[in-house]
Structure 1
Amino acid sequence: MNVLVSIITPTFNSAKFITETIKSVQNQTYANWEMIIVDDCSSDETFEIVEQLSQRDTRIKCFKQEKNAGAGVARSKAVNQAKGNYIAFLDADDLWKPQKLEKQLRFMVTNQLHFTFSFYECMDEEGVLLNKLITAPRKLSYRQLFFCNYVGNLTGIYDAGFFGKISISNIRKRQDWIMWLTILKQTKIAFPVPENLAIYRIRKNSISSSKVELIKHNYKVYRLYHQLNSVNAAICTLIFLFTQLIIKPTYIKVQKPTI
């Protein structure tokens, strides 16, 4: 198998992390990829770093937004530029294990799947592994995903030949969850690669680290994307909160640190 994979990476003030992220892609055992990086008008040296690295490796394509518009808009621009048979996602501060693409593509082809994701582990902002492995249901239904996002954005890959290029919401947060829901509306079920293939960086003071902010964004998804009335959106948000606090932790495992 030697199909082209387009890797979608939005960046914003990621100068501290972006080189390591790009190197984790360059270290892939599967080499037929393009990494499309769209900088969301960073105020640090992120774009300059990416531009320099792209001059050394033509598989890296870089673009810069004229104004800050959020990760969803940056991802959309990157997807529009993508030429790959498969679309994969990796944020600018996360990392892939070396065999991530090879193993995941083989899993998709062997099982005739058009969308997959994988397990992943966590590290702190300084890159220290936290011995925490995030797993997921081995057979993920649309209903399960509706009440909890079990798909780590840094692990998702879909078949663009089957789905086409899926449009990404310009909502500031939870665009990835909306995209996975769009996919599962068609496939009904998703199967993860039952391996740890990536490393997610937990940032201090980020929106994703604030439970209160996430609840607000989840409510917006139910209201704006699913177009539920305020009462039903609130009920769904409460179910999401219960699932997040009670059920999802059962899929978090203690793991010995690995790289």
Structure 2
Amino acid sequence: MDNIPLVSVIIPCYNASKYLIEALDSIIQQSYKNLEIIITDDCSTDNTYEMLCSFREKDSRIKLYKNDVNLKLPTTLNNMIDLCTGKYIARMDADDISLKNRIKEQVEYLEKHPEIDMCGTNAWNMKENGKIVGFYKFPINDTAIKYSACIFNPFFHSSVMLKAEVLKLNKYNSNFRYSQDYELWIRIMKSYKVHNLSKKLIIYRLPEMATPEKKEKQKQLATNVIQEARHAFFKEPFNLNDCSISDSYMFYRLAKKEGFMINANIVHLVGYQILRCILKLENIIVTNFIIMQKTIKRK
């Protein structure tokens, strides 16, 4: 790229000293260098702020702020968004790790595809002790992501990069203590196009076990978001013919588990060719598929 756009990376911190060095180093050492790294400490009670001051002395791209009172994550993020001056805004959590080419690959994709307003990536899973224990594979294209949003959150918060103009117009809902990212993605997807890179470009640290009270609150808020997604994206049946067969099969399995998509709807949603692959993967005899197809055509 001839004109390399500035990327604003926003990193909120609260009692993050345990993993902060790994997380910040992963951004500082990105192969893409035209960054401003905006960090806010939300009144940590450990030595997070002191560590951040040390980082700031070593890298002039770091712009460090500290809240006077604990504002919680959504409000802190919204304040950071106002401070961004880059063309793109990238999210990063203080306990995850971005792989070296993460920012570079996302910028290149967004520059080559101006119709896309938000871009995430797939991720490796890591335990607290630093051991990689697996990976997540999310759907890739806009249609597939919107469909899957009716079942689960289709983006890693730490992996997302957006056009700054989009995020400045669509900020986090401060009423969502949990699932604030999921709620925001749904609002953005109603008006904008989104994408996930198939590469695993972040390492997601699996969270500690939540308390029963926190779990219940998280479940309640996530349920509200899912209902909003289904209301927004299930008004008309989806045409998934432009999705990969593996994505379509994944949707079928998830939707089947959720209980809101059955045989006839499968045909309508994913098309005969993809359905044939699904049925083969399900070990259903192809002749049964042909019979079902003929029956549906007669209706």
Q: TM-score range by the shorter chain?
A: 0.7 to 0.9
Q: 2:126: which partner in 1?
A: 123
The partner residue of 1:82 within 60, 67, 84 is: 84
| Counterpart check, 1:178 vs 2:183 | yes
Higher mean C-alpha deviation, range 41-50 or range 168-177: 168-177
Q: Any conservation in 1 of the 2:151–2:226 contact (CA below 8 Å)?
A: no
Deviates more, 1:70-79 or 1:88-97: 70-79
CA distance in 2, matches of 1:218, 1:243: 16
Counterpart position of 2:155: 151
For 1:44, what is the secondary structure of its paired residue?
coil
Q: Which of 6, 19, 25 matches 2:27?
A: 25
Which residue of the partner structure matches residue 140 of structure 2? 138
TM-score for the superposition, normalised by structure 1: 0.80
Match status 1:39 vs 2:41: yes
TM-score (norm 2): 0.70
Residues 245/28 of structure 1: CA separation in 2 closer, same or farther (3 Å cut): farther
Mapped partners of 2:108, 2:40: distance in 1 = 28
Cα offsets for 1:28-57 (capped at 9, x unmatched): 100011111111111000011111111221
Change (3 A) 1:245 1:52: farther
Structure 2 residue corresponding to 1:203, chosen from 202, 207, 211: 207
Larger radius of gyration: 2
**Residue equivalent to 2:18:** 16
How much does 1:246 deviate? 4.7
From 68, 71, 82, give the equivalent of 1:66: 68
Unaligned runs of 5+ in 1: 229-241, 248-259
Between stretches 6-15 and 66-75, larger displacement belongs to: 66-75
Change (3 A) 1:143 1:14: same
Judge conservation of contact 2:145–2:195 (CA < 8 Å) in 1: no
The answer to whether residue 101 in structure 2 is matched with residue 99 in structure 1 is yes
| Residue number in structure 2 paired with 1:57 | 59
8 Å Cα contact 1:79/1:165 also seen in 2: no
Structure 2 CA distance for aligned equivalents of residues 118 and 244 of structure 1 = 23
Deviations 1:167-194 (A, max 9, x none): 111121111112211221112x422111
For 1:165 and 1:244, locate their aligned partners in 2 and report how far apart those are by CA, in whole Å. Answer: 32
1:5 paired residue number: 7
Q: Which runs of 5+ in 2 are unaligned?
A: 232-252, 259-299
Distance of 2:99 and 2:108 partners within structure 1: 15
Asked if structure 1 preserves the Cα contact closer than 8 Å seen for 2:88 and 2:164, the reply is yes
Of Structure 1 and Structure 2, which has the larger fraction of its residues in helix? 2
Structure 2 CA distance for aligned equivalents of residues 194 and 214 of structure 1:
27
**How far is 1:214 from its partner?**
2.6
- Give the superposition deviation at 1:222: 6.4
Residue 219 (structure 1) shift: 3.6
User: In the alignment, residue 114 of structure 1 is paired with which amino acid?
Assistant: D
Letter of the 1:205 counterpart: M
Q: Larger RCO: Structure 1 or Structure 2 (Cα < 8 Å, ≥ 6 residues apart)?
A: 1
Give the count of matched residue pairs.
229
Structure 1: how far apart are the matches of 2:256 and 2:49?
38
